[in-house]
A and B are shown apart, each in its own frame.
Chain A
Amino acid sequence: MSASSGSAGPLDFWVRAWAFRRVPIEGIASLRKAPASGHTFPVSLLKNADEQTVVVLAALMEAVDRLGAPLEAYRDWGVLGAPRFIGRDCIGQAIPEYTREGPWSVSPHIIPHRSLHSTSGTITLALGSGGPNHGVGGGPDAETEGLLAALAMLGERPVPGVWLTLSQVTPLTRCDSSLGRPPDGSQVEALVLALTREGPGLALQLDSTLPIGQGAGLACDLDSVLNLLQQGGSLPLARVGMLRAA
């Protein structure tokens, strides 16, 4: 039985804008207070947010500025957050503290702000977005799963566009349980894509007759998606048989 027994033929998608930020961990504190010049947010928005969420919002507002429309234009867009290992350092700190000091030592912010759903939820607050939002991936396949989720949402649902955020801490060193954050020397990276079914922008075509999925060899990471965008778009997604430059 072939996958083409479904209803879809080739689907065109457009990267209307994108932005990438790489921020040393030492720069997170100031970014947390003012993530984007020209935009004001309540201090409480990022006060307890994960470091990845902070950099995602900074990158997202750059992409918003490049598109040039007011925030209201994205009110019905979907928001998908695809972080890698979000909350890891916070959990790494919480475990020994729990063992040492008991349950009252565990931060109530872990679940709302350091979990897979946290990035997308925070972005909807920042944008005032009423479209769907959820987290996707969370581990080493986050970027692949994020792209699949974004294209499925655009292919099926009545959303005018999707913000897809890919983020990670690099390098992923051993956890320093005394910090509750990535150690000095770490970088926090975020790549944000504004995806739509209409151009203009960088066109990508999904051909549903081609193999899709890890089982068929699809694999991409943040760096490879960034390279694709910087080069104008043909690799690496074409290489793995999912997306081709249209």
Chain B
Amino acid sequence: MLRPSAVFITGIGACTPLGNSFTEVANGLLTGTSAIRRVDELTQESHPCRIGGPIGPVPCPPGEDAVAFAQLSRLEQLVRFCCHQALRDSGLWEVRHERRIGIVLGLGAEWMLPWEQAGLTSSDITQWQPEVADHGMLERTRQHLAISGPVSTVSAACASSNVALAQARSWLRLGWCDVVLAGGCDTGVSALSLAAFGNLRALSRRNDSPATASRPFDRDRDGFVVGEGGVVFTLERATDAAARNAHVHAEIAGYGSTSDAYHMVIPNPEPGPASRAVHLALSDAGLNPEQVDYVNAHATSTPVGDTSEARVLATVLGEHLPKVPVSSTKSMTGHLLTAAAAIEALACIAAMQRRAVPPTINLDEPDPTCPLRHVPHEAQDHRVRVAVSNSFGFGGSNACLVLRAA
């Protein structure tokens, strides 16, 4: 029976290093495929980290002017492609003018990345003022798609896409929109991003072995690997989706968010604030910890962060901890930064639909400080009705999403 406030995912658009559709990405995740490779495009030799999970050229959506599309920044291409595909996948493309459709995306570097792209290709930095456009990227996308709802860019750093999905759900429940496109896009495999994260000493330096560099929960992990890409979901009220017999991928069942108030970069070693976010999300979904079938961990492959999250999961799941499979798909995709939670929501949906939990590849020797029910190397058959997706970001943001099979 439909809950009146339920919100469903009825469409998915994806452009990631593992593929450019839900099916391709799900196949990559469930076969344990690494998308990490050496980044040859860097012009400077001395980058401490020269590996990443980059996307290829972003496909031009069907019906678009390829020349005009090619002139957009890579980030705007991603946004355009993913929104387009999500609307088509939901079956709403042809009737998009008849509904109030909004957009909420996690875009932590909406301005920075195009600034970088413009700045590194400009011969005269003194003339540099690339933000003179009247509107932001999402408003331009809204106008281009000829849809009529509100738009919003949000950023909680690496937790951004969960924030976006929660805000989209709110807009639907409050009646502000009929449909919302929500998720995240990031093109973080860039020179300045790799330099800045590298100088923070946050990145893996396994430059000689890209495919094994991202190894969450492993004893020999040495930092994360930047990935990039975008995933956008079409969200509708359950009643509206049912009324048009829409194909439903999953329900956005719960959300919880807190702040550490501890440090701008380092996660709180005490599990309290992040645990509270997971508790809030489960409570919002009307679920108990024993009803969780799978946890897609934030685990980025940093020494401090993965151990902190293991403590959080032990606090939340308690005696059920040994029964709940936990994996980090960042081992395959790298860390998509502000789009990370979006591709990880996709991973949860893949687990539900394929009845298999994606693995943590490269987990050769689990760190004893992370005593979880790991899924090393290969996917495991498992019925997933309820999935928890954790995301934690700089600025101390903890954002947890609960997805439920429809």
Q: When the two chains form their complex, are residues B125 and A177 in contact, meaning their CB atoms are under 8 A apart?
A: yes
B111 touches A (CB below 8 Å): yes
B242 touches A (CB below 8 Å): no
Within 8 A of B (CB), among A160-183: 172, 174-177
A113 touches B (CB below 8 Å): yes
Q: When the two chains form their complex, are residues B153 and A138 in contact, meaning their CB atoms are under 8 A apart?
A: yes
Per-residue contact bits, chain A 127-149, to B (CB 8 Å; 1 contact, 0 not): 11111111111111100010011
Assembly CA distance A108 to B153 (angstroms): 24
Q: When the two chains form their complex, are residues A152 and B131 in contact, meaning their CB atoms are under 8 A apart?
A: no
| Residue positions of A touching B, CB distance < 8 A | 1-8, 11, 79, 85, 87-88, 91-92, 94-96, 98-99, 102-108, 110-113, 115-118, 120-122, 124-125, 127-141, 145, 148-149, 152-153, 155-157, 172, 174-177, 208, 212-216, 218
8 contacts between A and B (CB under 8 A): A103-B47, A121-B394, A130-B276, A134-B155, A135-B155, A156-B170, A177-B126, A214-B151
B303 touches A (CB below 8 Å): no
By beta carbon, the residue of chain B nearest A78 is B257
Closest chain-B Cβ to A39's Cβ sits at a distance in Å of 16
Assembly CA distance A172 to B399 (angstroms): 34
Residues of B within 8 A of A103 (CB): 44, 46-48, 191, 194-195, 198-199
B135 touches A (CB below 8 Å): yes
Residues of B within 8 A of A4 (CB): 175
Most buried by B among A107, A134, A156: A134
Closest chain-A Cβ to B35's Cβ sits at a distance in Å of 22
Known A-B contacts: A11-B174, A135-B108. Give 11 more (CB < 8 A): A94-B192, A95-B119, A105-B195, A108-B199, A111-B196, A138-B136, A139-B110, A140-B135, A149-B167, A213-B177, A215-B150
Per-residue contact bits, chain B 148-173, to A (CB 8 Å; 1 contact, 0 not): 11111111110110010001011111
Partner of A91 from B102, B119, B136, B150 at Cβ < 8 Å: B119
Assembly CA distance A129 to B4 (angstroms): 32
Q: When the two chains form their complex, are residues A214 and B142 in contact, meaning their CB atoms are under 8 A apart?
A: yes
